Structure 1
Amino acid sequence: MTTLSQYTRRGVLLGVASAAVLTVLSRRYVAAAEPASEIRPFKFKASQDKLDDLLRRVRATRLPDPEIVGDDSQGVRSITIQKLATYWGHKYDWRKIEEKLNDLPQYVTNIDGVDIHFIHVKSKVGGALPIIITHGWPGSIIEQMKIIRPLTEPAAHGGAASDAFDVVIPSIPGYGFSGKPKERGWDPIRIARAWIELMRRLGYSQYVAQGGDWGDAVTEQMALIAPRELLGIHVNMPATVPDDIAAALQPGGRKPDGLMPDESHAYDQLADFYAHGLGYAIEMANRPQTLVGIADSPVGLAAWMIDHDIRSYQLIARVFDGAEEGLTRDDILDNVSLYWLTNTAVSSARLYWENKLAFFQPKNVKIPVAVSVFPDEIYAAPKSWTEKAYVNLIHFNKLPKGGHFAAWEQPAVFCNELRASFRSLRS
């Protein structure tokens, strides 16, 4: 039996960040260096054979017996997965998202022995601020596709031209179209160093970074490495949990007295997640190669991915019941299909095995930090914890709606948050 304390020793809940410091000389947005010759254009077209095989497997899915309870306590409910499989097997069309992806400028470059895939969209607005945005699990670059045009063309999407960004969205190694590491060591620290190198190759000598989920872990490691060109970061799943709260959340601990209402709510959210929501992460952190089933069954993969956290799962269940939410059925299956077609179910899981950092433990970030708190995230970080975790907090906002996949689910709100977060850092 895997206990929570064993899980924390794997580094998902406890850990200490460390990284080397990099320096550069230029302080302008765009360096004068020639474009890196190793950056190659990229497009993807799934073979019809692979799509036919996917369809066959979806239609041939053998589902388990229905749950024996009338709620979500046993996991993804049978009716949800049946509706998902029916839509996937009879109405979904991968070619639509494939065309949208291929309309975007995509590239691959080899960094530290691994091919890194990324989207790179430059604004037509002069002086646009470069930003590198990192997805998480079970996400991908598809999470951020809705925010590209509003960030690069703000005047056409409710913003001012002065809020324009150049947008870089890489695929984490082992995810999507990036290469799959063949050696150990590709943890958030190493990915952060790769992202710094990627921005250097693109010629950016001043930029900002954003992330949630694994994207938060990588982005905060970039901030700890603190290259001079990184002006600040924005996170939407911040690492703010104080040591006494983390200790109380361990088995046998008890909720501290005297918590403020928002602190008490955050504690309750975390306690529920630790008690009922960590199953997927425990398995991927300990035995990722055992997950053969999600590499062999597309519907099994979908069930594994949509059960990330209870509020995200409940939103997805409502979507397949026909409700209009921030996500659509196609959104959800676009993301699952990308994992399936790239065979990255297990290679993406290995990041949990590699990681030795704590997701929610403060990392002592010193550079400017902006935080957006969405109520249906794994936990809604209280301002009191956030101010202690980030000594240079330049923006904090609690939003009325949104969850773990904020950029994907609430793109307009998310873009407004990025504009407000980084306005003070523009020269």
Structure 2
Amino acid sequence: MEKFVIDIPQAALTDLAERLRRTRWPDALEGVGWSYGVPLPAVRELAEYWLDGYSWRAHEARLNALPQYTTVIDGQRVHFAHLRSPREDALPLLLTHGWPSTFADFARVAEPLSRDFHLVIPSIPGFAFSGPTSETGWGVRRVAAAWAELMSRLGYTRYGTQGGDFGSLISPEVARLDPDHVVGVHLNALTTLVNDDQAGLSAAEVERAKGVERWHRHYSGYAMIQGTRPQTLAYGLADSPTGQLAWNLDAYASWGQDIGGLSRDDILTNVTIYWLTDTAGSSARLYREGASAWEPPAEPGRTPTAVAVFPGDSSVRRYAEVAHNVVRWSEFTAGGHYAALQAPTLLAEDIRAFFMALSPRSMNSATTGTASSG
């Protein structure tokens, strides 16, 4: 394992600024809002701030406060942050992001969680500093196997997993592949597949179930393209930072439902990471490689699982129990799909409460790891 520090050459930032200045803006219809995609004013305003107001160097320094490392697993470079808790007996906790997020989403929860957990925060292969990938096959199961290997290399014999979005698929898969070592799974932004049996569901659950259909009908275009033609998409995103911004902004703004739910700097930090690492295409491939992971497993996982539901999520407990051994279910009125950014305190508290409620052996005999990753 090697220590890693984010150190982007100034020439790359200069090139980014020049490309932003040369943006050729498309035409746009008046009065249609978000119904045709991201409105021109929303992208233009954020692009102008990216050029003249946003400081990558400030966020680079912020992220470098997290100790980071790289290692090679299954032929792929894997980047990860590793924070050891002051508590030597702390439970190791593996945090996995989704798309269009990066490991940077967890920066705000890292400090409070590291008081009680040893944190391992990797970049999914194909994303950010773990990318790009150079071969096919990096779907959910292969990523999960890499995560189990990473935790083993770090010396962690018992650990928990947590994830949202694609992380909510990868995290329980780690438990299925490594059941003797994973003590619990915590999920947010979990999409539960709807079936015809809605008898007995609450009004809120029915509404959340309808959200899956609304997503398929109105907002799933990005997933269809990334799941079928990611290479075709990659040419435009690799050549135009404004194109990359618009593509990611459509998801970050919850397709027009919550444009104010994330700060400009949070959005741009992730977009900038994608741009600087040229991983728009390789990260999109996860949708093609991981398509089968959306199907429910033959039987529910056995590892105790907690699900945190934030506004906008489509999680329904009855449907979640088809795939998971759900022992804790929390619903919140604040935050959203990107809970680590939108409601970091609520998310951290729910994670802590779940794992603290597990057996003393899970919390107190969690690690044989050494004090550093190096």
Q: TM-score, normalised by structure 1?
A: 0.80
From 361, 371, 386, the equivalent of 2:307 is: 371
Structure 1, residues 9-38: CA drift from partner, whole Å, max 9, x if none? xxxxxxxxxxxxxxxxxxxxxxxxxxxxxx
Q: Is the 8 A contact 1:133 1:168 kept in 2?
A: yes
Separation (CA, whole Å) in 2 of partners of 1:133 and 1:108: 16
Pair 1:359-2:294 in alignment: yes
Partner of 1:194: 146
The residue type paired with residue 300 of structure 1 is G
Partners of 2:163 and 2:170 within 8 A in 1 = yes
Contact 1:144 1:407 in 2 (8 A): yes
Q: 1:395 to 1:375 in 2, by over 3 A?
A: same
Asked if 1:263 is matched to 2:205, the reply is: yes
Structure 2's unaligned 5+ residue stretches are 362-374
Partner Cα distance (2:323, 2:158) in 1: 24
Show CA shifts across 1:240-259 (max 9, x none).
325436xxxxxxxxxx6775
RMSD value over aligned CA atoms? Answer: 1.8
Opposite residue 320 of structure 2, the aligned amino acid is T
Give the alignment partner of residue 303 of structure 1, picking from 237, 242, 246. 246
Tell me, yes or no, if structure 1 residue 290 matches structure 2 residue 242: no
Q: CA deviation at 1:311?
A: 3.0
Does the CA-based 8 Å contact 2:219-2:255 persist in structure 1? no
- Structure 1 equivalent of residue 372 of structure 2: none
Report the identity percentage: 41
Please give the alpha-carbon distance, in whole angstroms, between the structure 2 residues aligned to 1:239 and 1:86.
34
Q: Deviations over 1:155-183 (max 9, x none)?
A: xxxxxxxxx01110000011010132222
Provide the residue aligned with 1:18 in structure 2. Answer: none
Sort the Cα spacing of 1:396 and 1:416 in 2 relative to 1 into closer, same or farther, 3 A.
same
Displacement after TM superposition at 1:402 (Å): 1.6
From 46, 49, 55, the equivalent of 1:84 is 46
**Which among 269, 273, 279 is matched to residue 221 of structure 2?**
279
- Counterpart Cα distance in 1 of 2:146 and 2:281: 21
Cα shift readout 1:118-174 (whole Å, capped 9, x = no counterpart): 000001123111000000110001111111001013xxxxxxxxxx01110000011
Q: Deviations over 1:84-135 (max 9, x none)?
A: 0110111111001111122221000100000100000001123111000000
Taking the TM superposition and a 5 Å limit, the aligned residue runs for 1:305-320 are: 305-308=248-251, 311=254, 313-315=256-258, 317-318=259-260
Bigger mean CA offset, 333-342 vs 171-180: 171-180
1:25 maps to which residue?
A: none
Judge conservation of contact 2:71–2:77 (CA < 8 Å) in 1. Answer: yes
> How many residues are treated as equivalent by the alignment?
358
1:170-219, Cα deviation, whole Å (9 max, x unpaired): 00011010132222111100000000000000000010000111111111
Aligned partners of 2:189 and 2:338 also within 8 Å: no
Aligned to 1:221: 173
Counterparts of 1:11-50 in structure 2, within 5 Å, are 39-50=1-12
- The answer to whether the 8 Å contact 2:78/2:125 transfers is yes
Match of 1:119, SS state, is: strand
Cα pair distance change 1:151/1:258, threshold 3 Å: closer
Structure 1 residues 258, 395: CA separation in 2 closer, same or farther (over 3 Å shift)? Answer: closer
Structure 1 distance, partners of 2:302, 2:205, is 23
> In 2, Cα distance between the equivalents of 1:70 and 1:349?
28
- Residue type matched to 1:296 in 2? D
Gaps of 5+ in 1: 1-38, 154-163, 246-255, 319-324
Change (3 A) 1:382 1:179: closer
Report 1:405-416 matches (<5 A).
405-416=338-349
Provide the rounded CA distance (Å) in 1 between the counterparts of 2:348 and 2:25: 39
